């Protein structure tokens, strides 16, 4: 465990990130993945099979799975794109030139859509958040919304039939 924490700290320092925030984000990512696994295993153990007990519960589980996937993707994007404000020029210069030399750069960060980029006066731009994160977030959140609506419809139908 000490080796993993040491590697996280070294990674954070090499990339100009806060070791504390990097560790917190990594722990959140691990917790979200563990919560997804525990939820799905508990649901299977309760039923004794992979089939859902009711149509409502299957849509409910799909919504939870989609939300957990969105949480993992968001945490991953934050971890990959985070730069400390005081080190932005150094991190951007390192990413473009392989040298942390100071350069005229305009850093830009956004939480929705998740983005962390550097743009130079010559128009060159680097995005630190992987390109699959935002589409994955959109699909996961849309899937969760659809699953919640379908679960509510199924629940209402089953209540009427009783």
What confidence tens digit (pLDDT) does each residue in 75-116 have? 888 777 766 555 667 777 777 777 666 667 777 777 778 888
- Bridge partners of residue 126, in order along the sequence: 118
Token pair in block for residue 56: 């409502």
Quickly state the pLDDT bin for 31 (edges 50, 70, 90).
confident
Contact 75, 21 (CB under 8 A): no
3-state secondary structure of 15: coil
Nearest of 88, 83, 78, 91 to residue 24 by alpha carbon: 78
Residue 47 C-alpha from the chain's centroid: 30
Distance from chain centroid for Cα 143: 16
pTM of the model: 0.70
Round to the nearest angstrom and report the end-to-end CA distance of the chain.
53
pLDDT band of residue 125 (cuts 50, 70, 90) is confident
Q: How many CB atoms lie within 10 A of CB 131?
A: 8
């Amino acid at each position: 465990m000490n080796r993993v924490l040491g590697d996280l700290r070294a990674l954070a320092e090499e990339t100009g990130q806060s070791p504390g925030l990097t560790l917190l984000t990594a722990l959140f990512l691990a917790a979200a993945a563990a919560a997804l696994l525990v939820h799905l295993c508990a649901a299977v153990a309760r039923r004794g099979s992979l089939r859902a007990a009711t149509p409502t519960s299957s849509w409910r589980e799909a919504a939870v799975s989609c939300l957990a996937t969105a949480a993992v993707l968001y945490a991953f994007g934050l971890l990959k794109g985070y730069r400390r404000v005081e080190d932005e020029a150094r991190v951007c210069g390192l990413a473009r030139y392989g040298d942390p030399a100071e350069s005229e750069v305009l850093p830009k960060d956004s939480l929705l859509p998740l983005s962390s980029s550097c743009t130079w006066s010559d128009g060159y731009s680097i995005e630190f958040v992987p390109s699959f994160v935002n589409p994955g977030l959109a699909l996961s959140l849309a899937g969760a919304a659809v699953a919640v609506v379908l679960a509510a419809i199924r629940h209402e139908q089953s209540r009427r039939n009783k």
